[in-house]
Amino acid sequence: MSKVRSAPDFVIIFATLFLLGIGIVMVYSASAIVAQKPPFSDPYFFAKRQLIFALLGITSMYITMNIDYWVWKQWAKPGYLVSIGLLILVLIIGIEVNGSKSWLGFGAFGIQPGEFAKLGVVAFLARWLSDNQKQIVLFRKGLMPALGIPVLCFGLIMLQPDLGTGTVLMGTAVVMIFASGARVSHFVGLGMIGVVGFIGLVLSAPYRIKRITSFLDPWSDPLNTGYQIIQSLYAIGPGGLLGLGLGQSRQKHLYLPEPYNDFIFSIVAEELGFIGGTLILLLFLLLLWRGMRTAITAPDLFGSLLALGIIGMIAIQVVINIGVVTGMFPVTGITLPFLSYGGSSLTLMLTGVGVLLNISRFSR
């Protein structure tokens, strides 16, 4: 394996920072109306915090960009175990937000262990798969142990409960395992079991059933379960080709709940129109292309799977978030990478991009 560093992939840096810059501007635009009211009483409240998170994330990205990625192979198992410990800890002393006990509070800030568990699972799974590649074609000695790595974290996340984070984690893991050479026939059987299990998770919680029914027909309950998606569509529709103009959104005036968070793409579409929304999608596609290129040209299997896991995690989250705000998927709590407000999600994504950039420095 070549250990001669080259320059990191500039296109990845460009796409990431461009998205981050748009995100900071849009967080301010989407949150100013809410933030100027008590208890915040400062229209810049969320924007300032997002800027702090962005600076912390960029610092983390710069550090991880300069740490040779095979170091993470040595620390993958301890990182995974720490992730499990934090997921257990949040169930004991965590703060409940919107019905989910998924936050650990530290002073004025809090972290979501589920967000950091995603990166922990990606690193440890990349290590296990690269060390056991020949066994992955076997069901009992390959596929099942590999699935056990994300399933343990998924189970703890579902106890919070947080179906959105759990879905991204499991989706990323499945992509990595499939790419490592697992048999399609094994996936078909497990996929059927997974569908049954997913239906069971939905049926086990009445609020999830309501989300499914409101997804099929949001106007059947417009003031409750269908409210968010209706308000989101009311934002996207009037945006037209060029949008209403930056800062001119109507839905952010206390119609669309938390427009600076999971539904920030709705405000983007309303204010910047089809052109602005398309620009963001093109930036994500650019990032996906260069991330996949890094994974394909990585000098070893661990680097390839690690890069695939990071870019897969970002891509799955983007697809789910935009699918939700456009009414293609049932409503679930998934942030839009680099754009949505949130410290844990933003710092995690930028840290992951830093690792991806380091892998790109050794690409063939």
Q: Where are the alpha helices (DSSP H) in the chain?
A: 10-35, 45-65, 71-93, 113-131, 144-158, 163-179, 184-204, 206-216, 227-239, 264-297, 301-325, 343-360
Of 21-35, 171-185, 262-276, 306-320, minimum mean pLDDT range: 171-185
Q: How far apart are CA 268 and CA 256, in angstroms?
A: 13
Half-sphere exposure of 100 (CA within 13 A, CB side): 21
At 91-143, the pLDDT tens digits run 888 787 767 788 887 655 678 888 889 999 999 999 999 998 888 878 788 78
Give the pLDDT of residue 48.
93
Counting the structural domains of the chain, the total is 1
pLDDT, tens digit, 9 for 90 and up, residues 275-307: 999 999 999 999 999 999 999 999 999 999 999
Residue 217 CB partners (closer than 8 Å, separation 6+): 226
Q: Mean pLDDT of all residues in the chain?
A: 88
Percent with pLDDT over 70 in the chain: 93
Answer whether residue 3 is part of any domain.
no
Mean pLDDT lowest for which of 108-122, 229-243, 305-319?
108-122
What is the predicted pLDDT for the residue at 106?
Answer: 62
Helix (H) or strand (E) run with residue 104 in it = strand 100-106
Return the sign of the alpha-carbon dihedral for residues 62, 68, 69, 74: negative
> What was the pLDDT predicted at 222?
76
Residue 126 lies in a domain: yes
- Name the band, by pLDDT with cuts 50, 70 and 90, for residue 44: very high
- Domain assignment present for 128: yes
Residue 39, class by beta-carbon neighbours within 10 Å (0-12 exposed, 13-18 middle, 19+ buried)? exposed
Using pLDDT thresholds of 50, 70 and 90, give the confidence band for residue 180: confident
pLDDT at 108: 53
**Which whole number is the average pLDDT over 164-184?**
88
**pLDDT at 136 (0 to 100):** 82
Angle 289-30-243 (CA atoms, 0-180°, nearest 5)? 70
Looking at mean pLDDT, say which of 3-7, 116-120, 211-215 comes out highest: 116-120
Residue 70 lies in a domain: yes
Tokens 């994500």 found at: 284
Q: Which of 63, 70, 66, 81 minimizes the C-alpha distance to 127?
A: 70
| Lowest-confidence segment of 136-150, 189-203, 297-311, 339-353 by average pLDDT | 189-203
Contact 176, 129 (CB under 8 A): yes
- Whether residue 309 contacts residue 125, with contact meaning beta carbons closer than 8 Å, is answered with yes
Asked if residue 44 lies in contact with residue 77, where contact means CB atoms within 8 angstroms, the answer is no
Q: Which residue has the tokens 């949505």?
A: 340
Average pLDDT score over residue span 50-79:
94
**Closest Cα partner for 263 from 332, 347, 173, 176?**
332
Question: Phi then psi for 111, rounded to 5 degrees?
Answer: -125, 155
What mean pLDDT is predicted for residues 40-44? 89
| Residue 47 domain-assigned (yes or no) | yes
Q: What per-residue confidence (pLDDT) applies to 201?
A: 67
Nearest to 52 by CA among 292, 314, 289, 347: 347
Share above pLDDT 90 across residues of the chain, in percent, rounded to a whole number? 54
pLDDT for res 189: 73
Which residue segment(s) compose the domain that 171 sits in? 10-361
Q: Is residue 160 part of a domain?
A: yes
d(CA 182, CA 174): 10
User: Nearest 10 degrees: CA dihedral of 172, 168, 104, 102?
Assistant: -140
Banded pLDDT at 41 (limits 50, 70, 90)? confident
Residue 92: per-residue pLDDT: 87
Phi, psi of 105 (to 5 degrees): -90, 135
